[in-house]
Copies of this chain bind each other. A is one copy, B any other.
Amino acid sequence: MKFQFENSFEVKEKILEKLVAILPIGAVEAHGPHLPLGTDNLLAERLSEKLAERVNAFVLPTLPYGQVWSLKDFPGSINVSNQSLIRFIVDIGKSLYHQGFKVFVMVNGHLGNSVAMKEAARELYEWNPELKVMYLFYPGTDQVVSEIRETPPSHRSYFHACEIETSYMLYLAPEFVNMKKAISDLPKIPFRADFTPTPWREFTQSAVLGDATLASAEKGEKVIRVALDHMVKLIEQAKEGN
């Protein structure tokens, strides 16, 4: 249920019944020729809706700007610093606690947000450990991803506008995918990229890290189901105070 469509007179009771608020966080960032700039927003939002149904939670409005340092020179990317993101999330978290929520779940659509989300979660924990704060980026999907993928990953942790992410979109937001424009681009990410600041323009012109033409809704569904199952379990534990 969308939190922002509730009204103030009735929402208190529902908060105390649901206890869980889900904040989708995405980004505006280059995603190749076949995916929109807002891909990470769409993924975070749609995934949050599915999750909310399963755990009877509220979905907050999507925070649609994230930390996109690596791709900030690409057309269309809008970058917000880790510090700005942390401050924003911490403010939201404190308000949620004051409103009566006990579990604050961030559903992340963009890997680059992970550092800010974890840091904000720790700051909130220091502020008040009673508020359970979670940062979720397709949890528990390493294995299923390695099973479904037909091409090797470009990088241990990055996936971007590729077979995998495009599959998520085909499952969650197919109306925004233009498979006719999908390309295969397997950049050679230099070893140093994990050890020194390396804007992605140094190794790709498309921002596609793999073979997007192999994407399918079926692949996307398989991974998302696993992710959702893990998310549900994590939230249920958190509601029980673990």
**Stretch among A46-54, A82-90, A145-153, A215-223 lining the B interface:** A82-90
The reply to whether B191 and A140 form a contact with Cβ atoms under 8 Å apart is yes
Which residue of chain B lies nearest to A121 when distances are taken between CB atoms in the complex?
B197
**Contact between A99 and B78, CB atoms less than 8 A apart:** yes
Interface residues on A, range: 35 or more
Contact of B121 with A196 in the complex, beta carbons under 8 Å: yes
Number of copies: 6
Docked Cα-Cα span, A82 to B88, in Å, equals: 10
B195, A134: Cβ atoms closer than 8 Å: yes
Q: Which residue of B lies closest to A80 (CB)?
A: B91
Q: Is A155 an interface residue (CB 8 A)?
A: no
Instruction: Report Cα–Cα, A221/B91, bound state, in Å.
Output: 35
Q: Let me know if A134 and B207 touch, CB within 8 A.
A: no
Q: Which residues of B contact A115 (CB under 8 A)?
A: 115, 118-119
Instruction: List B contacts of A191 (CB < 8 A).
Output: 139-140, 230, 233-234
Taken together as a complex, chains A and B put the C-alpha atoms of A7 and B28 apart, in Å, by: 10
Given A61-B28, A87-B87: A4 and B41 within 8 A (CB)? Answer: yes
Query: In the complex, are the beta carbons of B5 and A32 less than 8 A apart?
Result: no
Q: Are B65 and A78 in contact, CB atoms less than 8 angstroms apart?
A: no
Tell me the nearest residue of chain B to A9, going by C-beta: B33
Query: Which residues of chain B come closer than 8 Å to A119, judged between CB atoms?
Result: 82, 115
Q: Give the docked Cα–Cα distance between A160 and B8 (Å).
A: 13
Nearest residue, chain B, Cβ from A28: B4
Q: Is A179 an interface residue (CB 8 A)?
A: no
Residue in B closest to A192 when the chains form the complex, CB atoms: B234
Contact A122 B69 (CB under 8 A): yes
- Residues from chain B with a CB closer than 8 A to the CB of A37 are 3-8, 11
Q: Which of B15, B61, B85, B194 is within 8 Å of A65, CB to CB? A: B61
